[in-house]
């Protein structure tokens, strides 16, 4: 059955509490073997905004339709941002902390234009808020966002701000991976975007991992895991990790300038001393 189009009912429900600037957030690249994990964030004025037609969860749209939606979403939103965490950062601090780091970058980009009163996060696990008691054995991946975060299962299907965020994140990450494919043509990233397709696995067997692969992950299939899904080497995934539709699961320690990285052509540059080294890549 075809899912209904996303709407603004949940975003508008916050206005009864006096909250009107509502951000939707979603990630892409969680289960990929190579490339960054990316978080998109779109802010709407829930008290005034009208629904934007044509927006759906990015996995339900063709690449062409996603690209056509980007300027429309950017013009419609009160603010938007996209953040990335590089493969080296994923290896250094773990996937959950890397998601928080990418989300922190998206959040800080949004703050250049607007301050959300609340955030709707796709899924049932809040990886975006600051960690109150970081583990002694795991580095915190970023400050997170200081607004209340409301997790919602399938928010990318029924919350318009979250669906819009998924489109921005998907288009920017896909553009970045297509650029990296020019530097590493053997792996087919222009097609598979870093996910574990059969062709990608074959290239890994033949050529070994590149500098853009997540070295801490099991890069070849594990028994019990879908063939198109990668996993951290310790076998642990965040509790909200799942198998995506269509064969994919759902830098610098500072903030990228502007609205996202794809327009700049590189991961953010210049980590401070002692921070993870970043991969450079061009979309």
Residue 220 pLDDT > 50, yes or no? yes
Residue 40 pLDDT > 70, yes or no? yes
Let me know if residue 167 belongs to a domain: yes
Sort residue 258 into left (φ over 0), alpha (ψ -120 to 50) or beta: left
pTM beyond 0.85: no
What local confidence, expressed as pLDDT, does residue 21 receive? 99
**Residue 240 marked as a ligand binder:** no
Strand, helix or coil for residue 187: helix
What local confidence, expressed as pLDDT, does residue 232 receive? 59
Q: At which residue do the structure tokens 């198109």 appear?
A: 228
Distance CA 162, CA 58 (A): 10
Domain count across the chain:
1
pLDDT confidence of 278, banded at 50, 70, 90? very low
What's the CATH code of the domain at 67? 3.30.420.10
Let me know if residue 21 belongs to a domain: yes
Least confident of 110-119, 127-136, 149-158: 127-136
List pLDDT tens digits, range 221-250: 654 344 455 555 544 443 333 323 333 333
pLDDT confidence of 139, banded at 50, 70, 90? low
Residue 57 pLDDT > 70, yes or no? yes
Let me know if residue 62 belongs to a domain: yes
Given a contact cutoff of 8 angstroms between Cβ atoms, the answer to whether 10 and 67 are in contact is no
Computed over its alpha carbons, how large is the radius of gyration of the chain?
Answer: 18
**Residue 65 marked as a ligand binder:** no
Its domain, for residue 172, covers: 9-183
* Residue that wins the pLDDT comparison between 94 and 271: 94
Let me know if residue 246 belongs to a domain: no
Let me know if residue 226 belongs to a domain: no
List pLDDT tens digits, range 144-189: 799 999 999 999 999 999 999 999 999 999 999 999 999 999 999 9
C-alpha pair distances (Å), 58 with each of 72, 213, 259: 14, 24, 19
**Residue 117 marked as a ligand binder:** no
Let me know if residue 43 belongs to a domain: yes
Let me know if residue 201 belongs to a domain: no
Let me know if residue 249 belongs to a domain: no
């Amino acid at each position: 059955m075809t899912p209904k189009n996303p709407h603004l009912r949940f975003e508008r429900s916050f206005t009864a509490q006096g909250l009107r600037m509502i951000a939707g957030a979603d990630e892409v690249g969680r289960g990929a073997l190579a490339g960054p994990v990316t978080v998109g964030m779109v802010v709407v004025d829930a008290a005034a905004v009208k629904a934007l037609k044509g927006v759906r969860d990015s996995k339900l749209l063709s690449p062409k339709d996603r690209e056509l939606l980007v300027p429309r979403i950017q013009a419609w939103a009160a603010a938007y941002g996209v953040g990335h965490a590089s493969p080296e950062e994923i290896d250094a601090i773990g996937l959950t902390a890397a998601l928080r780091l990418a989300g922190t970058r998206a959040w800080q980009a949004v703050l250049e234009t607007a301050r959300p009163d609340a955030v709707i996060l796709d899924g049932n696990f809040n990886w975006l808020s600051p960690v109150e008691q970081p583990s002694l054995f795991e580095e915190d991946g970023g400050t997170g966002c200081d607004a209340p975060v409301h997790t919602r299962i399938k928010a990318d299907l029924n919350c318009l701000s979250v669906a819009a965020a998924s489109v921005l994140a998907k288009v920017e990450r896909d553009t970045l991976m297509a650029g990296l494919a020019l530097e590493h043509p053997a792996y087919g990233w222009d097609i598979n975007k870093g996910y574990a397709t059969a062709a990608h696995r074959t290239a890994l067997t033949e050529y070994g991992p590149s500098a853009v692969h997540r070295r801490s992950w099991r890069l070849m299939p594990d028994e019990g895991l879908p063939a198109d899904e990668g996993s951290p080497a310790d076998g642990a995934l965040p509790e909200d990790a799942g198998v995506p539709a269509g064969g994919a699961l759902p830098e610098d320690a500072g903030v990228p300038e502007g609205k996202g990285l794809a327009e700049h052509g590189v991961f953010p540059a210049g980590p401070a001393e002692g921070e993870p080294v970043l991969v450079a890549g061009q979309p």
